[in-house]
Structure 1
Amino acid sequence: MARKSTLLIAGVALIAVAASAYIFAKDEITALVSPDAQPQQAQQRGSGGNGGDRSLPVIAEYASLMDEKTVVESVGTGKSALGVSIYPAVSGEVADVLVRAGDKVAKGQVLVILNSERERLARDLAAVQAKDAQQLLARYEQARPLGAVAESEVDSARTALAEARIALDQAEVDLADRTILAPFDGIVGIPQIEPGDRVDSSTVLVTLDNIESILVDFEVAETRFDNVRAGQSVRVETWSLPGETFTGVVESIASRIDPDSRTFSVRARVPNPNSRLLAGMSFAVYVDIEGKQYPSVAEISVLWGDGGTYIWRIEDEKVSRVPVRIVKRTNGRILLDGDIAKGDLIVVEGVLRLRPGRTVAATIRGSDETGVATRDGSGEGS
């Protein structure tokens, strides 16, 4: 009998504890499901002697302004800022190749020499003929005052000298064509010829590239034609050098849209002082597109309800529910569109028991000059 009494008393105690827990938790569950609701138990517990709410502790921070940045991604191909395939101007036999693949050469440096014996002899003959014509003209000019030479003969001698000098210049050009020089500073590619080869004006002798900067050509969707501008900064990465990012600028933009791909061509110049980037490399290209400025808040301060997304704003120690539209998420922050401005005090933590008009005691996170807050204090989790 005593045992039954003990069990009865224990059962009643358990029921009482469960009822108390239900009454205590009812407000929290109601607030979570419907933040606008005002549970009766919360009113009773929150009422003081004058009928007002006690201040609910929360953590808040000031809204800041952030630019809406969109990153346009593309794939591009690199090419040297200056790059040529060098051909001979004349036909002939290769006498010597003075460079090897990878050599750095300066403008005017000799790369290849063609056999030039005939051209050297022709130059020497033209020089002799020019000297002879000049001496003849000198004798005629000395004899003309004495009446020994007619004026017409002097004129013919002048013409002959001019022709001889032109022939000498032509011989000099023909001889110079047998020596192939670097047209600019650059790096030599693999020579395509060897001494003894016969070449003509269609034969590639060697390639030369100046890669102090690399040109990266890529395509952008036509919907972004208004957003990409010459001088705009770009970032590029190449799969050949993982983990490294290089910065350049947009140099030129195509004037038309490709009707098949619905894209337009863009060329960016990327400095390459260490010659680590090479012509022909493929690149991932990133272009930052600046957009409008929007208020920015911590991600955890944005809530979802039946009417959509909203935040809690504090004014005169009371909170109000402000509907907002999410523009973009970035690095733990959310850009919002709505009735919110820079400097508005927004509840970050402690939102479970909030309702419009509720009095709060806010612990404000400290903020730096950019408006991005750092935590200072603790409060109820959201």
Structure 2
Amino acid sequence: MRLWKQLLTCLVILLVGLGVWVHFVPGAGAMLAKAGVPPRLIALVAKPAGEAKDGGGQGQGRGQDRNQGGGGGAPIVVTQPVDIAVVNDRLNAIGNGAAILSVNVTPLATGNLTEVLAKSGDRIKKGQVIARLDSDEQAIAAAQAKVAVESAKEKVERNRKLGGAVSVAVLRDAEFAMQAAELALKTAELDLKRRDIVAPSGGIVGIITVNPGDYITTSTPIAVVDDRSQILVDFWVPERFSNKISVGQDVSATAIALPTSELSGVIDSIDNRVDQASRTLRVRARIDNPDDALRAGMSFSVAVRFAGDQYPTVNPLAVQWSADGSYVWRVEEEKSRKVPVKIIQRNSDKVLVDAELAKGDAVVMEGVQRLRDGGAVRLAEQQERRNGKKPATESTEQKVSEAETAK
């Protein structure tokens, strides 16, 4: 093939490709006009073959629809309104319960156990005797001490009646002997009293682990007495809640063994430091137990409510990335605006962001490829209405109404 034929073929292919590009790509004509291409040549290239022959017809109508309804080649986008979500407004944790007062009863003396006066499950009062040790030796010692006190008192009275016949030194020695005897009596009575094992606090007696006749010491546990009129629940919260939780704050709890019972209480105390290994803070809640349905050692599900933090939420498809970070496109008066965002929490159906977005703002989630900051855009819903098509929501409502009418 000769050279001029090759050049002519290349020119025809170039013109055809240019025509296809101008015809199917919105805004291509404007780009050629800016490049200095004559408008007549652009119009000639942009016309389809059928339009060039009959001078109008259906092709011209499509071009008018694209120019009039398309807003000069502006991209069509699908938007979704911004919503507001609250995070960090609720804390759920698992805690362990304990009686508000729990005492492990041990004797104050050693010896053989002679009797047990309480049974497991009994409700006792503070100071009540629950067991006794053998006390014969202590009783004899107390009686001897009492006799010694009586003798010392009589000696002091006799010396005082003698008056000047007895020296002051002898009288003082008698008085000192009386005081020593009184102290010995108190010691003997205390030893005798300690043979009774008493409850240091009121509550419910646990399982008694000793029997009469056992030899016990001061380290032998007799029983555990629990005052469970209130239950203390210890649980641990993440350190991000350390400055939000406070003493006296209301809590709700559910015993794992009693899932249908709703319990209420308050924060009783908060630890003064965060555990470095788990990055959690120990918190103690107090729950009333008027029906005595709760037991020490139970596990509880504890819930605490806070004011929370509010953040805008957008569709995950709306979040874009660039070298400067993440951003979204917001539509204002049919123009796109680039809004930087900081992702707070990502979920499957929405993303919480920290950005200058208000509830109801239109954010682009489809058609973001051709957007630029400040550029014109066309909303897909408005474009469908201009072309005489009903939005999907209207069609759905019409079908529902027709179905109800048919019924």
Q: Specify the alignment match of 1:164 in structure 2.
A: 181
Q: Structure 2: which amino acid aligns with 1:273?
A: N
Structure 1 residues 180-199: aligned runs within 5 Å: 180-199=197-216
**Residue 43 of structure 1: how far off its partner (Å):** 8.6
Mark the CA change 1:184 to 1:239 in structure 2 (over 3 Å): closer, same or farther: same
Name whichever structure is richer in helix by fraction. 2
CA distance in 1, matches of 2:152, 2:63: 120
Unpaired runs of 5+ residues, structure 1, are 1-39, 52-59, 362-377
Is the aligned partner of 1:141 residue 2:160? yes
Matches within 5 A, 1:36-185: 44=65, 67-69=86-88, 74-144=93-163, 147-185=164-202
- Could you say if the C-alpha distance between residues 198 and 306 of structure 1 is closer, same or farther in structure 2, counting changes exceeding 3 Å? closer
Tell me if 1:240 matches 2:257: yes
CA contact (8 A) 1:236 1:245 kept: yes
Counterpart among 318, 324, 328 of residue 304 in structure 1: 318
Hey, what's the Cα distance between the residues in 2 that align with 1:167 and 1:115?
A: 21
**Structure 2 residue aligned with 1:249, among 234, 259, 267?**
267
Shift of 1:190: 0.5
Distance change (3 Å), C-alpha of 1:329 and 1:289? farther
What is the CA-CA distance between 1:179 and the residue it aligns to?
A: 1.3
2:206 and 2:224 in contact (8 A); partners too: yes
Offset at residue 189 of structure 1 (A)? 0.4
Cα separation, partners in 2 of 1:208 and 1:112, compared to 1, 3 Å: same
Note if contact 1:189-1:206 (Cα within 8 Å) is conserved in structure 2: yes
**Matched residue SS, 2:171:** helix
What is the CA-CA distance between 1:244 and the residue it aligns to? 4.3
Secondary structure in 2 matching 1:168: helix
Q: CA deviation at 1:155?
A: 0.5
**How big is the shift at 1:159?**
0.6
TM-score (norm 2): 0.58
1:227–1:289: 8 Å Cα contact kept in structure 2? Answer: no
SS in 1 for 2:139: helix
Secondary structure at 1:94's aligned position in 2? strand
Conserved? CA contact 2:94–2:300, under 8 Å: yes
Q: Is the 8 A contact 2:274 2:282 kept in 1?
A: no
User: 1:227-277: CA deviations, max 9, x gaps?
Assistant: 57552665544432225454442623254645xx44456141331323333
Query: Distance between the aligned counterparts of 1:143 and 1:176, measured in 2?
Result: 39
CA distance in 2, matches of 1:42, 1:196: 111
Q: What is aligned with 2:51?
A: none
Matches of 1:312 and 1:327 in 2, distance apart?
19
Relative to structure 1, the CA distance from residue 310 to residue 61 in structure 2 (aligned partners, 3 Å threshold; closer, same or farther) is closer
SS at match of 1:141: helix
Q: What is the letter of the counterpart of residue 241 of structure 1?
A: L
Q: Percent identity?
A: 30
The answer to whether the 8 A contact 2:103-2:200 is kept is no
1:177 to partner: Cα distance = 0.4
Of residues 264, 281, 284, the one that matches 1:268 is 284
TM-score (norm 1): 0.62
Instruction: Give the CA deviation at 1:158.
Output: 0.9
**Does residue 208 in structure 1 map to residue 222 in structure 2?**
no
Cα deviation, residue 309, structure 1 = 7.5
- Quickly say closer, same or farther: Cα 1:267–1:204, change in 2 above 3 A: same
Q: Aligned partners of 1:250, 1:76: CA distance in 2, in Å?
A: 14
Deviations 1:33-70 (A, max 9, x none): xxxxxxx979949979xx9xxxxxxxx98966x65316
Which whole-Å CA distance do the structure 2 matches of 1:134 and 1:241 have between them?
A: 67
Q: Distance in 1 between matches of 2:257 and 2:293?
A: 10
For the residue of structure 1 that corresponds to 2:114, the secondary structure is strand
CA–CA distance in structure 1, aligned partners of residues 352 and 394 of structure 2: 24
Give the conservation status (yes or no) of the 8 Å contact 1:188–1:209: yes
CA RMSD of aligned residues (A): 4.7
Query: SS state of the match for residue 202, structure 1?
Result: coil
- CA offset at residue 162 of structure 1? 0.6
| C-alpha distance in structure 2 between counterparts of 1:85 and 1:240, whole Å | 26
| Partner SS for 2:88 | strand
Contact 2:346 2:352 in 1 (8 A): yes
Aligned mates of 2:115, 2:123 — CA distance in 1: 18
SS of residue in 2 equivalent to 1:118: helix
Tell me, yes or no, if the aligned pair for 1:219 and 1:263 is still in contact at 8 Å.
Answer: no
Q: Which amino acid aligns with 2:142?
A: R
